[in-house]
Structure 1
Amino acid sequence: MIEVNVDRSSTGEILTFSMSGHADSGPYGYDLVCAGASAVSFGAVNAIASICNVELNVDMKDEGGYLLCAVPEEMNRAVREQVQLLLEGMLVSLATIAEEYGEYITIDESRR
């Protein structure tokens, strides 16, 4: 199972998100849930780098089974809003996957 964890500030901004585990919804190379979740998360990280010119602090381990991304603290308000919008879009896409394939992916959100 893929577990997505989102850590938000008290105001609701996404501070970090992590994905761990494997969906195992199909054979290796044919796992659509894993491929979809990976595409959505890496697409968001790449979009933030390309559109916002912001590099998230990224940690990957376990041969693709773990991804942790933290939003840098220092950036101007307009850029922070763009980063947050892209991250919220990522969560909407992941939630859409979880609605259909909840036995393979879960999303948990917490606030500091």
Structure 2
Amino acid sequence: MIQVRVYRNEMQDIQSFEITGHAESGPYGHDLVCAGVSAVSFGAVNAIIKLCHIEPAIEQGGEGGYLKVQLPLNMSQEVYTKAQHLLEGMVVALETIERDYGQYIKIQ
């Protein structure tokens, strides 16, 4: 099962997220849940890097199944707001996957 943990500050802004595990909803290379979660999460990270011009701290597992991303602390308000919109969009997309494939993914 894929576990998604979204870490928010006291204002409910997203500071970081962590994705662990494997969906195992299909054979290797044909796991649509895993592919969807990967596309959504990596797409959001790539959008933050390109559109916000920042480098979040990124940790990845060597065999897949692990991604942790943390926003830097020193951002302008404009960049911070843009990064928040991109991350909230990621959460909405992941919640959509969870709604249809909840036996393979859980968001906390």
Q: Structure 1-normalised TM-score?
A: 0.95
Alignment of 1:89-108 (within 5 A): 89-108=89-108
The alpha carbon displacement at 1:62 in A equals: 4.2
CA distance in 2, matches of 1:61, 1:55: 18
Does the alignment pair 1:15 with 2:2? no
CA offsets, 1:76-111, max 9 Å, x none? Answer: 000000000000000000000000000000000xxx
CA distance in 2, matches of 1:54, 1:63: 26
Letter in 1 for 2:61: K
CA offsets, 1:31-89, max 9 Å, x none? Answer: 00000000000000000011111111000014111000001110100000000000000
In the other structure, the counterpart of 2:71 is: 71
Residues matched between the structures, number = 108
Unaligned runs of 5+ in 2: none
In the other structure, the counterpart of 1:35 is: 35
CA distance in 2, matches of 1:64, 1:87: 21
Q: Structure 2-normalised TM-score?
A: 0.98
Instruction: Give the secondary-structure state (helix, strand or coil) at the position aligned to 1:10.
Output: coil
Does the alignment pair 1:86 with 2:92? no
Larger RCO (alpha carbons 8 Å, 6+ apart): 1
Cα-Cα RMSD: 0.6
Instruction: Give the secondary-structure state (helix, strand or coil) at the position aligned to 1:19.
Output: strand
Give % identity.
53
Runs ≥4 residues deviating over 6 A: none
Unaligned runs of 5+ in 1: none
* Larger CA deviation: 59-68 vs 20-29: 59-68
Instruction: Give the secondary-structure state (helix, strand or coil) at the position aligned to 2:63.
Output: helix
